[in-house]
Structure 1
């Protein structure tokens, strides 16, 4: 099979499309013929090996799994032992290691059926970015109708889903984005946009019941200036300004430590893979309430370019690679 192979940690120059042995599904697994994949920040962390705290899990000097990628959509073509909930030919989406390939093996209980009205390309955007956004909006922020919600990094992969999901809950959403990505944020449901370059001080952003930060990297004390006295600050993912060991995870840990001692509620999200959340998102997409904010569609051979664009934050929403 063709697969995107990573040779050591670093940038997109470490990637190439090569022939690899086809994976064999084990007990409780399915093999999926991949139709589309989508890069995300988790894939970037695996590519760079940063923050360093991840390396005991993925490989100290070089990745233990040479094929990169997480989010995929495709068709089940082989069942492992003990799998009876899926059949050959079922269309599914999910996240699994080594997804950027013609074939991927995934846990049967962590994939979800793609409805007939949803394309594989759209479905591939959901397993990491949209799942993270759902968990941030529903579980961490606990957004309710009528609340004022500020999404920082609203033009990115997670941020573009945050705007939609917060608006679906009846929130009044303000998006902090670059001027170039402001039209997308408004299309997705933001009532107001703020160009973070033209207006860099959070004090000028107004007071919000919830602030969700996916990209800012500034200290928690600075971001809290955009909150009401009883507001909630949610830090999403491991991106941000921090040391080489923890990088953006430093702010997540700090939020946990400080939360009992400050008037604001401070919390964080690192995405948890689960099929029930995927089914919620697919239902919303099938019903036309949730959109896959796809910037452009590339091919598997374009994976190095896709990861370069992702690293440079030159993507409005999501990229999709067809396989």
Structure 2
């Protein structure tokens, strides 16, 4: 099968479009013919092997798993002997452990869910990581309630675009922080208020929020806390930080400060979940949430897609179409 692999850490130039053996599902796994994938911050960071600390888990000198990609949408073509909830020919979407930038991938049954009926495969592939992160951040970390005032810092990106919509679906009053060119996008997502970070500092406006969902990490913890109500919650979900530790320093500082504060400072580490994908599917099929795709690349140009992601402020998501005309794929 065709796939995008990486033999050494580095930039998009380290990605190869080549032939690799097809994966074989284990007893608790399904084999998915991937129709589409999408680009996430995790793909960018793991491509570079940053922060360096992650190399302890993903490979010290080179990626332990060569095929890149995490989000996938496609059709189940085989199931392991222990699989009960998913069947051959099901249209599904999932956050896989690795390997969605390929014609076929495998995933454990517990992370695979039925694809939203109202979405194309390209649209569905942009959902798993970003929407699950937004859902778990708002529902679990923030315990967002109706009429809460929430500020989303980074509202026009992949996670942010879902966070704005989910917060509105939960009945909150949403303030979106984004650039000038993305203000209309944020309003279209349902934001009640928009702050243009190029001309305003949300931490210096004097307004306070029950929840701040920080997806950028460009303001100090003390500044963010100033914009929180006395018992407000700051959810940290940013990869910002040094090349060695990444966001870990900020997380440790937040944990230490949280001990002495009535405010809650909560780092978010989202996890793949078919149950949460089922929740998101219902919201999508009821037209309460919708993915926003800036552009789509064919599998053979995945390196260009990663370059686009890293060099530009992506609006919403970047999709990868697997069947691109260059390779027809197996019949």
Indicate conservation of the 8 Å contact 1:148/1:173, yes or no: yes
Indicate conservation of the 8 Å contact 2:39/2:318, yes or no: yes
Indicate conservation of the 8 Å contact 1:163/1:189, yes or no: yes
1:289 alignment counterpart: 288
* TM-score relative to the length of structure 1: 0.96
Cα distance in structure 2, aligned partners of 1:280 and 1:61: 39
CA drift at 1:218: 2.6
1:142 alignment counterpart: 143
1:103 alignment counterpart: 104
Matches within 5 A, 1:23-172: 23-96=23-96, 97-172=98-173
Classify 1:117/1:298 alpha carbon distance in 2 versus 1 (closer, same or farther; 3 Å).
same
Cα distance in structure 1, aligned partners of 2:147 and 2:82: 47
Structure 2 SS opposite 1:93: strand
Structure 1 consecutive aligned stretches of length 4 or more whose deviation exceeds 3 Å: none
Cα distance in structure 2, aligned partners of 1:164 and 1:249: 28
Structure 2 SS opposite 1:234: strand
More divergent stretch after superposition (110-119 vs 46-55): 110-119
| Structure 1 alignment gaps of length 5 or more | none
Indicate conservation of the 8 Å contact 2:151/2:175, yes or no: yes
Cα distance in structure 1, aligned partners of 2:293 and 2:242: 32
Corresponding position: 1:190 with 2:213: no
Q: How many residues align?
A: 321
Cα distance in structure 2, aligned partners of 1:260 and 1:43: 33
Matches within 5 A, 1:232-251: 232-237=233-238, 239-240=239-240, 242-251=241-250
Structure 2 SS opposite 1:292: coil
Q: What CA deviation, in whole Å up to 9, does each residue of 1:5-51 have, x standing for no partner?
A: 11311111111211111111111111100001011111112111111
Indicate conservation of the 8 Å contact 1:212/1:235, yes or no: yes
Cα distance in structure 1, aligned partners of 2:62 and 2:264: 38
Classify 1:50/1:189 alpha carbon distance in 2 versus 1 (closer, same or farther; 3 Å).
same
Corresponding position: 1:4 with 2:4: yes
Structure 1 SS opposite 2:250: helix
Indicate conservation of the 8 Å contact 2:116/2:124, yes or no: no
Structure 2 SS opposite 1:155: coil
Cα distance in structure 1, aligned partners of 2:116 and 2:171: 26
CA drift at 1:262: 1.5
Indicate conservation of the 8 Å contact 1:68/1:99, yes or no: yes
1:256 alignment counterpart: 255
Cα distance in structure 2, aligned partners of 1:85 and 1:193: 42
Cα distance in structure 2, aligned partners of 1:61 and 1:106: 25
Indicate conservation of the 8 Å contact 2:202/2:227, yes or no: no
Indicate conservation of the 8 Å contact 1:153/1:216, yes or no: no
1:279 alignment counterpart: 278
Classify 1:5/1:172 alpha carbon distance in 2 versus 1 (closer, same or farther; 3 Å).
same
Classify 1:165/1:102 alpha carbon distance in 2 versus 1 (closer, same or farther; 3 Å).
same
Indicate conservation of the 8 Å contact 1:194/1:205, yes or no: no
Indicate conservation of the 8 Å contact 2:154/2:214, yes or no: yes
Q: What CA deviation, in whole Å up to 9, does each residue of 1:29-77 have, x standing for no partner?
A: 1110000101111111211111111111110010011110000000001
Indicate conservation of the 8 Å contact 1:123/1:282, yes or no: no
2:176 alignment counterpart: 175
Indicate conservation of the 8 Å contact 1:156/1:313, yes or no: no
Cα distance in structure 2, aligned partners of 1:316 and 1:167: 19
CA drift at 1:201: 5.6
| Structure 2 alignment gaps of length 5 or more | 323-331
Structure 2 SS opposite 1:17: strand
Structure 1 SS opposite 2:17: strand
